[in-house]
Amino acid sequence: MNAVNYPLLMRIDSPGDLRLLSPKLLEQVASELRSYLIDTVSQNGGHFAAGLGAVELAVALHYVYQTPHDRLLWDVGHQAYPHKVLTGRRERLSGIKLRGGLAPFPARYESEYDAFGVGHSSTSLSAALGMAIAAARTATARRIVAVIGDGAMSAGIAFEALNHIGSMDLDILVVLNDNDMSISEATGAFSNYLARLLSGERETARVRTLFDDMGLNYAGPVDGHDVGGLVATLKNLRETRGPQLLHVVTTKGKGYGPAEADPITWHGPGPFDARTGVAIKENSAGPTYTQVFAQSLIDCAQRDERVVAITPAMREGSGLVEFSRRFPLRYFDVGIAEQHALTVAAGMACDGLKPVVAIYSTFLQRAYDQLIHDVALQNLPVVFAIDRAGLVGGDGATHQGSFDLTYQRCIPNLVIMAPADENECRQMLHTALCCDRPAAVRYPRGTGPGVPIESHLSIYSIGKAELRRAGRGTAILAFGSMVSACQALVEAHDMTLVNMRFVKPLDEEIVLTLAANHDALVTVEENAIAGGAGSAINEVLLAAGVQMPVLNCGIPDRFIEHGARNDCLRDAGLDREGLERRITRWCQAGARSARSRPPRTLHVIGRQISS
Ligand SMILES: Cc1ncc(C[n+]2csc(CCOP(=O)(O)OP(=O)(O)O)c2C)c(N)n1
């Protein structure tokens, strides 16, 4: 760090250093911190606009509260870069999200100042209340503060927590960081309510707010960029007993012109020229799966006006921007409300619509009961376009889509598809919309192998795999993104390759035929090995009484940390080289042990083959 540009920030290695400064200097600290964020994030990209809006808040909160003894929780954690800088991680900020670098969000293993690990939104109030209860139970004198955005406040869990907090007489401060934005524009009646609170309605009379009525003492609205004002207000609140809510008004992207003007683009930019705000583009290699899904959905919607799209606050990430423009009345951003997204889709499906819920694999975890109870149990034709299924990279362990095959596979009625390429993604979406039952298409982050995309829409036969290559000895049964990852390997070693296409229903016929014709089977998927698609193959073999060597390749039984997507794949052993090494070694070891065993006969339902 350059001491000339950041004379004060240079001296802050912990919040203790910050607290030694006179209050008059805090504005300068905030200004240096903001410049430092702009400089640093421009190098490698990262979460940006939300952090710029939370600079003064971070400075004031660490100045007033005795962190880490007092607990400071950042909801989602994408706005926590200023907090990381002030808590001893200044010099490491440039490596955030990279392999071995700082975690993308607050993480308890990384710092004692990160009171609660985050990444998924709207958990801060529940966790803060838990800490307040623990402090009360252990008679620990401690203040607990949760900072939550207006977007994150739209989630059910945040309201569940408010409901609980308001009924408890505990010292807890909720700082509502209201910038009137989620990743895209804030939506919903609660957001309208906050706007009304800010509109001056409250200033004319002492109007009781929703929060007061729920048992939290409402303070504000206050200017979230006036660090002196914030410090004064927080000092007061620190001495006030009971649940409090401080309504703070901020500007997303504050202090960086392009980000203030377009906070959506600047929510999480890649590297950019800090002076001009121009993105430093990497060469793009064809359309991403998200883009293919986006165009295919538009094509399907044009053919069938019953098709509607639902997103839980992820319009940009899920590729629904163009859809929302073309079909504004058939597009629903429900806020950060995954559970509601699924049940509202179920209701639509009951009465003749064809809802497509576009959702990230990691966020679908939030709506598991709705998936089972509201959609699958009633066999309703809801389509799930599950993006970021597999390893996502920089957003790390909280966002890896490692589990969706595992948690979906056991649900009756559900069709689960995994496209091997972009064209299959398109056709599977169409197949899902035509199959009249709940159906999921799960595709990874980024680009596919780059196959031509057919403009027509076809329907795959449900539960049928595709033989890609007939070889000898070992057959690889690959799912989704792993089909192309195995192509070179099967050519080099004359193995069979099957693109399984369907995780459910599984093509049992092809599994048993391959078992009969090969010495060994290898399953490969970009999902947890535990309970994943490979487990489904094992179950088929066991049920049929087939005994043969089977290797399951997939994500190992641990959380995969952040890094570039390729780093994460390598870490999980799912990059091309890793797969080749693993599979060929396993085959060689198997061949050695087979030579040392007497020949035996395998029984495969109705057939006999020798091994
Ligand atoms: C459960 C869950 N769903 C979706 C997201 C993706 N997401 C990250 S930040 C964000 C918007 C948060 O808005 P807000 O809380 O208002 O913060 P701001 O970015 O406006 O500061 C969303 C939807 C998430 N992190 N967690």
Query: pLDDT class for 598, splitting at 50, 70, 90?
Result: low
Catalytic residue annotation: 252, 338, 366
CA distance linking residue 470 with residue 496, whole number of Å? 4
Going by alpha carbons, the residue nearest to atom 21 of ligand 1 is 50
Cα 50 to ligand 1 centroid, rounded to whole Å? 10
DSSP 86: I
Fold agreement (9-253, 466-610): yes
Pocket of ligand 1 (CB under 6 A): 50, 53, 76, 78-79, 120-121, 149-152, 179, 181-183, 252, 313, 336, 363, 366
| Ligand 1 atom nearest to 267, measured from its CA | 19
Each residue of 133-171: b (16+ CB within 10 Å) or e?
A: eebeeeeeebbbbbbbbbbbbbbebbbebbebbbeeebb
pLDDT at residue 295 is higher than 60: yes
Residue 204 is predicted with a pLDDT of 46
Ranges of each domain in the chain:
9-253, 289-442, 466-610
User: Which of 47, 78, 83, 267 for mutating ligand 1's site (highest number of atoms within 8 Å of CB)?
Assistant: 78
CA distance linking residue 575 with residue 579, whole number of Å? 6
| Ligand 1 atom nearest to 120, measured from its CA | 26
Q: Does domain 9-253 have CATH number 3.40.50.970?
A: yes
How confident is the model over 142-189, as pLDDT tens digits? Answer: 999 999 999 999 999 999 999 999 999 999 999 999 999 999 999 999
CA distance linking residue 43 with residue 96, whole number of Å? 11
CA distance linking residue 54 with residue 85, whole number of Å? 12
Residue 256 is predicted with a pLDDT of 98
Residue 178 is predicted with a pLDDT of 97
Q: What is the mean pLDDT of residues 381-393?
A: 98
User: Which of 52, 105, 116, 121 for mutating ligand 1's site (highest number of atoms within 8 Å of CB)?
Assistant: 121
Closest CA to 145 of 237, 251, 225: 237
Chosen CATH of 289-442 out of 1.10.3720.10, 1.10.490.10, 1.20.144.10, 3.40.50.970: 3.40.50.970
Mean pLDDT, the chain, rounded, equals: 95
CATH topology of domain 466-610: Rossmann fold (3.40.50)
Q: What is the mean pLDDT of residues 594-600?
A: 59
How confident is the model over 540-569, as pLDDT tens digits? Answer: 999 999 999 999 999 999 999 999 999 999
Between the alpha carbon of residue 397 and those of residues 26, 97, 559, the distances in Å are 34, 11, 6
| Ligand 1 atom nearest to 178, measured from its CA | 16
Cα 129 to ligand 1 centroid, rounded to whole Å? 20
Q: What is the mean pLDDT of residues 500-505?
A: 98
Cα 161 to ligand 1 centroid, rounded to whole Å? 17
Cα 130 to ligand 1 centroid, rounded to whole Å? 22
| Ligand 1 atom nearest to 314, measured from its CA | 23
User: Which of 116, 147, 182, 370 for mutating ligand 1's site (highest number of atoms within 8 Å of CB)?
Assistant: 182
